Chain A
């Protein structure tokens, strides 16, 4: 139980294009989803927190107009990197809370999406 998936697992795009990453809770309804970013040899950094049906809360320094988050249902959140540039190349990871039969506040993580912007 408490499985989170992400799609795609990796993506390569040209500079200036937009990329959408999906995060799904497969066997539970996620009341809250989180988006993290991890650069090589660094730890995870939280980008934003989203609750179903409401606007995401962004961490300081994260541009909300560049990283669009939509949490339209209890099982799906999307992160869109708009006008991507090479410095946006990173490992993007989502997590979700709200599992059935588990500690509802434990965050379960997806496998991550590796983005390379050329």
Chain B
């Protein structure tokens, strides 16, 4: 699976949009971009994933650049409960048992 690069940490004011960047310059055509987050002492929570089109769900939006070499996860109105480590992962989809390789992620802190 392609490797990703994320900033180590970010702060965001409560109520503002949190924009978390991810670089995946070696992504291949059949790899999806997945985002998970891990709140302290809990298991990771799935947020969103996409291939090349922008995606939106009730939790977040995912913006993928046209060349697919980077993406941005957007939490539109950050709350204190969004404080967590956010992981950007690229993986092949289509075989049912493809593993996720977790990097160090971005530690997002929401400031009151």
Q: Using CB atoms and an 8 Å cutoff, list the residues of chain A in contact with chain B.
A: 2, 4, 6, 31-32, 34, 36, 43-46, 49, 51, 91, 93, 95, 97-98, 103-112, 114
Contact = CB atoms under 8 A, between A and B. Distances in A.
A107 B46 CA distance: 8
A35 B41 CA distance: 16
Contact of A107 (B38, B42, B100, B105): B100
Given A43-B104, A43-B105, A103-B49, A32 B97 contact: yes
Contacts, number: 60
Interface residues of B, number: 24
B43 A32 contact: no
B96 interface: yes
B17 interface: no
Main secondary structure of the interface of B (DSSP, over half): loop
A107 B93 CA distance: 11
